């Protein structure tokens, strides 16, 4: 990981575009290989990589509020919000992925703060996120609580939440 230092004042967020699916998939796959791989078995990593397809991401762009984080003309992160209208006043975060070259610069936190201002989050009294073993401490630092404590990872994730 390069961990390029950045000026967060030059970070901008826009709705994700289908034309950028391959760029976002590259970030997601790099996160799996360079960050998540240390917390999961080789088979779990393979399954994750196989699940992150262009069709999967296109469906997310069609059904959720998904965003790109830009820095100096480059997409450096992505993440989104979904809404399950069967759950009154509740929304769900789609995992935040930060290009490993830009980790530890506050981009993930800024993305999370941005997502929490999405209309679906603002209309919710509860925000949930299925967190990976690699990200749960990040979400905890950002004010999310564990549904089960100590965290229980089912299918590689634990559910975390924030009440509003």
Q: Domains in the chain: how many in total?
A: 1
C-alpha–C-alpha distance, residues 89 and 124, integer Å: 4
Would you say residue 3 lies in a domain?
A: no
Give the DSSP H or E segment for 109: helix 107-115
pLDDT tens string, the chain, 164 residues long: the values are: 555 689 999 999 999 999 999 999 999 999 999 999 999 999 999 999 999 999 999 999 999 999 999 999 999 999 999 997 888 899 999 989 999 999 999 999 999 999 999 999 999 999 999 999 999 999 999 999 999 999 999 989 999 999 98
Looking at the domain assignment, is residue 135 inside a domain?
Answer: yes
pTM of the model: 0.94
Domain membership of residue 1 (yes or no) is: no
Strands (E), 64-137: 65-71, 74-83, 90-98, 126-132
- The CA-atom distances, in angstroms, between 140 and each of 8, 52, 84, 93, 159 are 21, 25, 23, 14, 11
In a domain, 2, yes or no: no
Specify the CATH number for the domain of residue 30: 3.40.630.30
Check: CB of residue 149 under 8 Å from CB of residue 131.
no
């Amino acid at each position: 990981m390069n961990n390029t230092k950045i000026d967060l004042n030059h970070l901008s967020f826009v709705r994700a575009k289908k034309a950028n699916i391959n760029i976002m998939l590259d970030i997601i796959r790099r996160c799996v290989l360079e960050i998540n791989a240390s917390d999961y078995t080789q088979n779990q990593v393979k399954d994750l990589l196989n699940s992150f397809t262009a069709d999967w991401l296109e469906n997310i762009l069609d059904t959720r509020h998904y965003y790109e984080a830009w820095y100096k003309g480059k997409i450096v992160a992505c993440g989104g919000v979904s809404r399950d209208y069967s759950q009154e006043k509740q929304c769900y975060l789609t995992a935040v992925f930060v290009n490993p070259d830009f980790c530890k610069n506050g981009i993930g936190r800024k993305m999370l703060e941005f997502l929490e201002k999405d209309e679906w989050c603002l209309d919710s009294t509860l925000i949930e996120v299925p967190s990976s073993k690699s990200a749960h401490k990040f979400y905890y630092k950002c004010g999310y609580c564990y549904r089960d404590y100590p965290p229980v990872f089912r299918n590689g994730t634990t559910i975390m939440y924030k009440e509003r």
